[in-house]
């Protein structure tokens, strides 16, 4: 195909800026060129792309929508966003008749028809199969002003004398006049391009998303986090994954997009403009920000303003409008953005942005360093327990400080303060004081002695104790114990001594069954253990299950210890009177009647699939937080947590384990060990 040939034929100096602008690595270009030659192969090929080029392609195309594909094509492939080499690229394409420049009073031009099917197929069928459209910020007015096919036809005829055969002008074919006039006129050897035509009467304004919302959304699209449909945003399955990522990973991802997309655009005046505009932490209307930035840009850079805008919103980014619709449920829980207002903001006029410290760092870091102090890159620790960080402090270090210190002031230089509370909180989150001290070691003059001393002292005040429920199995003598051990039933259990094992509560049933299956005669019964467990929790339990009694002749019994024996045993193994209470210590609970399984909780929210989709991320995080709190408070561990699942069922879990995506524990409703995926939990309920 001609486009592919043209791309191959582009001189390196033209590809260079393209590569940097679009962030497409060389491999990605090759892949793209290869696949452009055969649109039919694209569908398959795209899915088999390596991650790097795939990411690049996503970034490349995330701006687009079906009717904007030609514009994007022009911007990225031809004018290179006004970057060096655009004129040469245009020349090449014109020479090869790929590009037909029907310059008119409006200055629009179209892509040669033979390219169009490929391009449109590429866009519509492959990369945006389910997309509708939306408008990124900055281009909306131009789009509206230039979308009258009749005007374009008129221009064709007026400039060229005839409408080229085979060209049928449709709205989506029209390219907005977006490029730098000077560059285009130089490329096309014309003295000057006329001004844009006025808005054609009767033209229908574009009903897109508010410019303030689009940029963040575009970043989300770039990550495949959301998909765009006409007028509606929906979460994709990636959203939940992304929401569950640690904040560092979320941010590093956004940083990657930003760096890839905008690194070359964010030139010094522009970055300084953004920074100057927002550095004071004030709320700012995006439109006002764009106006501010306009003074730093040439006409050909307007797209770049949008790009910077994307960065601000994606990276900075406290957007009131994020609480609008699904964005709230996606971005706010993910900490990607802070809603500026507690209530949904339906009107885009109320949107506002302001810089987050990370964005301040990032933006300031793109400015040419004038005279940065020596603590610009390494944090500066002072004897006053203050830590100063400059704009070029590595993000990882910023994250470390965010978790260990209280942020006092955010500006060109951010001030943190180490306090007993902040250090203690970080230590409780399993932070290691040495990590912090190592990170601060680069401070000019090192870490002051009093600060070093206090950090260690405060961190050492946090004592990690874990309380858990367990079953102690004890044999009468060592010989019997060895025989029992050989059965393999104690896999995953801790051997407390020659004749005793600690069996985690969630493995009690498994171990018990394995022992009885292996012929061991276990004195006592599993149900009794569970009853005692439930009795400790003051929960009614089921008593109708018959206790398993499988004798194994000739093998000594493995009696459950009595409370007294248990204490003696514990003391013998180095556990004092303060040792965690064991199940056998508790007051036995003797149920007198069978208690039916609890009814589904009535106040559990009734969620339609749609509203569930809306609220799930939020609910999920709330649930996680609650469960985490339950785990962190040792005293609450073992108490039941009521969870309503999305199918309407209710589980009252004695939480034993919590991972990034699931919660596990003993369900006192079902009397079974459960591991529930967090995504299936709709709400927490009163047990």
Partner 1 sequence: MPLIVQSDHTLLLEVDNPHFAAARDDLLAFAELVRSPEHVHTYRLTPLSLWNAAAAGAGPEDVLAALDRWGKFSTPDNIRTTVQDQARRFGRITLVADSGDLYLTSAEPLLLDEVWSHKSVRPHLAARVAPGRIRVRPLARGHVKQALLKVGHPVLDRAGYTPGTPLPLQLLPATRDGQAWSLRAYQREAVEAFWGGGGPAGGSGVIVLPCGAGKTLVGIGAMGQAQAQTLILCANTTSVHQWMQEILQRTNLGPDQVGEYTGAVKEIYPVTVATYQILTHRTRRRRGAGDEAPSGRRPQPTTAAEAEVEFPHLRLFQERNWGLVIYDEVHLLPAPVFRVTADIQARRRLGLTATLLREDGREEDVFALIGPKKFEVPWRVLEGQGWIATAVCHELRVDLPAALRPAYSVLDGADRFRLAAENPVKIELVRELLLRHPDERILVIGHYIDQLAALASALQAPLLTGQTPQREREKLFSAFRAGEISVLIVSRVANFAIDLPDASVAIEVSGLYGSRQEEAQRLGRILRPKTDGRPATFYALVSRDTVEQDFAHKRQLFLTEQGYRYVIRHAERAAEDEVATRGGDAVTSAGDNDVPLWRIGR
Which stretches of the chain bind partner 1, using CB under 8 A? 276, 279-281, 370-375, 380, 382-386, 388, 409, 411-413, 420, 444-445, 448-450, 453-454
Cβ distance to partner 1 smaller for residue 296 or 512: 296
Cβ distance to partner 1 smaller for residue 412 or 429: 412
Structure tokens at 674: 């459960």
Compute the least distance from the CB of residue 663 to partner 1, in Å.
37
Cβ distance to partner 1 smaller for residue 371 or 544: 371
CB contact at 8 A, 519 and 555: yes
What whole-number distance in Å separates Cα of residue 137 and Cα of residue 290?
9
302-311 helix and 268-278 helix, angle to the nearest 10 degrees: 50
Compute the least distance from the CB of residue 373 to partner 1, in Å.
5
Compute the least distance from the CB of residue 282 to partner 1, in Å.
8
What whole-number distance in Å separates Cα of residue 109 and Cα of residue 146?
11
What is the 3-state secondary structure of 624-669?
Answer: HHHHHHHHHCHHHCCCEEEEEECCCCEEEEEEEEECCCEEEEEECC
Locus of tokens 């519509």 = 124
Task: Extract the runs of DSSP E, i.e. beta strands, from 353-492.
Answer: 380-381, 386-389, 406-409, 414-417, 470-474
What whole-number distance in Å separates Cα of residue 230 and Cα of residue 206?
12
Cβ distance to partner 1 smaller for residue 372 or 552: 372
Compute the least distance from the CB of residue 503 to partner 1, in Å.
38
Cβ distance to partner 1 smaller for residue 272 or 651: 272
What whole-number distance in Å separates Cα of residue 634 and Cα of residue 624?
16
Compute the least distance from the CB of residue 437 to partner 1, in Å.
15
What whole-number distance in Å separates Cα of residue 59 and Cα of residue 65?
13
- By CB atoms closer than 10 A (0-12, 13-18, 19+), residue 209 is buried
Structure tokens at 422: 């902040």
What whole-number distance in Å separates Cα of residue 602 and Cα of residue 644?
10
Compute the least distance from the CB of residue 576 to partner 1, in Å.
19
Cβ distance to partner 1 smaller for residue 279 or 318: 279
Compute the least distance from the CB of residue 380 to partner 1, in Å.
6
Cβ distance to partner 1 smaller for residue 276 or 377: 276
Compute the least distance from the CB of residue 353 to partner 1, in Å.
17
Rg (the chain; Cα; Å) = 33
Comparing CA positions, the residue from 175, 153, 172 lying closest to residue 164 is 153
CB contact at 8 A, 17 and 92: no
Compute the least distance from the CB of residue 670 to partner 1, in Å.
46
Compute the least distance from the CB of residue 384 to partner 1, in Å.
5
Compute the least distance from the CB of residue 408 to partner 1, in Å.
9
Cβ distance to partner 1 smaller for residue 419 or 662: 419
Cβ distance to partner 1 smaller for residue 86 or 388: 388
Locus of tokens 């002003």 = 145
What whole-number distance in Å separates Cα of residue 83 and Cα of residue 107?
20
Between strands 110-111 and 99-100, the pairing is: antiparallel
What whole-number distance in Å separates Cα of residue 221 and Cα of residue 351?
20
Cβ distance to partner 1 smaller for residue 151 or 378: 378
For residue 383, the number of C-alpha atoms closer than 13 Å in the C-beta half-sphere is: 4
Compute the least distance from the CB of residue 398 to partner 1, in Å.
17
Alpha-helical segments (H) within 96-236 = 116-120, 140-145, 149-160, 181-187, 214-222
Cβ distance to partner 1 smaller for residue 162 or 463: 463
Please write down the long-range contacts of 287-295, taking CB distance under 8 Å and 24 or more positions apart. 287/211, 287/212, 289/353, 290/137, 290/138, 290/211
Cβ distance to partner 1 smaller for residue 149 or 448: 448
Cβ distance to partner 1 smaller for residue 110 or 410: 410
Compute the least distance from the CB of residue 388 to partner 1, in Å.
6
């Amino acid at each position: 195909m001609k486009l592919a040939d043209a791309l191959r034929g582009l001189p390196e100096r033209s590809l260079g800026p393209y590569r940097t602008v679009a962030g497409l690595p060389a491999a990605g270009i090759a892949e793209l060129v290869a696949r452009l030659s055969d649109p039919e192969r694209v569908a398959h090929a795209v899915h088999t792309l390596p991650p790097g080029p795939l990411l690049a392609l996503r970034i490349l195309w995330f701006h687009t929508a079906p009717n904007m594909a030609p514009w994007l094509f022009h911007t990225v492939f031809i004018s290179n966003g006004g970057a060096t080499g655009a004129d040469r690229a245009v020349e090449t394409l014109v020479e090869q008749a790929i590009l037909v420049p029907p310059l008119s009073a409006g200055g629009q031009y179209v892509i040669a028809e033979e390219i169009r099917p490929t391009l449109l197929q590429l866009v519509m069928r492959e990369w945006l199969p389910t997309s509708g459209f939306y408008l990124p910020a900055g281009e909306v007015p131009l789009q509206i002003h230039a979308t009258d096919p009749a005007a374009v036809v008129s221009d064709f005829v007026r400039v060229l004398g005839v409408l080229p055969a085979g060209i049928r002008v449709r709205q989506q074919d029209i390219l907005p006049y977006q490029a730098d006039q000077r560059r285009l006129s130089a490329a096309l050897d014309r003295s000057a391009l006329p001004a844009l035509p006025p808005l054609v009467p009767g033209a229908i304004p574009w009903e897109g998303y508010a410019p303030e919302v689009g940029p963040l959304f575009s970043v989300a699209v770039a990550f495949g986090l959301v998909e765009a449909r006409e007028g509606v945003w929906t979460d994709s399955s990636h959203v939940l994954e992304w929401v569950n990522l640690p904040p560092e990973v979320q941010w590093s991802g956004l940083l990657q997009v930003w760096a890839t997309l905008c690194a070359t655009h964010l030139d010094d005046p522009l970055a300084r403009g953004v920074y100057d505009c927002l550095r004071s932490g004030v709320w700012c209307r995006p439109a006002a920000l764009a106006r501010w930035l306009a003074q730093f840009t040439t006409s050909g850079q307007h797209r770049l303003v949008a790009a910077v805008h994307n960065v601000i919103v994606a990276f900075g980014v406290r957007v009131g409008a994020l609480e609008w619709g699904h964005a709230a449920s996606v971005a706010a829980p993910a900490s990607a953005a802070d809603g500026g207002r507690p209530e949904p903001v339906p009107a885009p006029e109320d949107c506002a942005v302001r810089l987050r410290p990370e964005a301040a760092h990032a933006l300031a870091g793109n400015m040419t360093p004038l005279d940065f102090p020596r603590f610009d890159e390494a944090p500066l620790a002072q004897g006053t327990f203050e830590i100063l960080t400059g704009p070029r402090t590595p993000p990882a270090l910023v994250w470390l400080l965010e978790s260990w210190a209280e942020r006092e002031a955010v500006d060109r230089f951010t001030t943190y303060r180490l306090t007993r509370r902040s250090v203690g909180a970080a230590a409780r989150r399993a932070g290691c004081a040495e990590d912090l001290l190592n990170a601060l070691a680069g401070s000019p003059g090192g870490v002051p002695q009093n600060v070093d001393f206090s950090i260690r002292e405060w961190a050492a005040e946090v004592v990690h104790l874990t309380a858990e429920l367990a079953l102690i199995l004890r044999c009468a003598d060592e010989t019997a114990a060895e025989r029992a051990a050989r059965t393999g039933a104690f896999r995953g259990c801790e051997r407390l001594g020659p004749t005793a094992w600690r069996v985690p509560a969630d493995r009690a049933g498994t171990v018990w069954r394995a022992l009885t299956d292996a012929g061991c005669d276990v004195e006592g019964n599993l149900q009794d253990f569970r009853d005692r467990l439930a009795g400790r929790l003051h929960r009614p339990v089921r008593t109708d299950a018959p206790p398993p009694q499988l004798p194994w002749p000739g093998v000594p019994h493995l009696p459950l210890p009595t409370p007294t024996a248990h204490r003696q045993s514990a003391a013998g193994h180095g556990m004092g009177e303060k040792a965690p209470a064991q199940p056998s210590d508790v007051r036995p609970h003797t149920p007198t009647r069978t208690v039916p399984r609890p009814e589904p909780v009535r106040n559990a929210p009734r969620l339609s699939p749609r509203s569930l989709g809306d609220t799930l991320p939020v609910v999920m995080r709330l649930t996680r937080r609650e469960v985490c709190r339950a785990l962190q408070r040792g005293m609450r561990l073992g108490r039941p947590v009521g969870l309503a699942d999305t199918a309407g069922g209710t589980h009252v879990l004695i939480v034993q384990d919590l991972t990034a995506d699931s919660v596990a524990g003993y369900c006192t409703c079902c009397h079974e060990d459960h591991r529930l995926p967090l995504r299936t939990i709709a709400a927490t309920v009163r047990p």
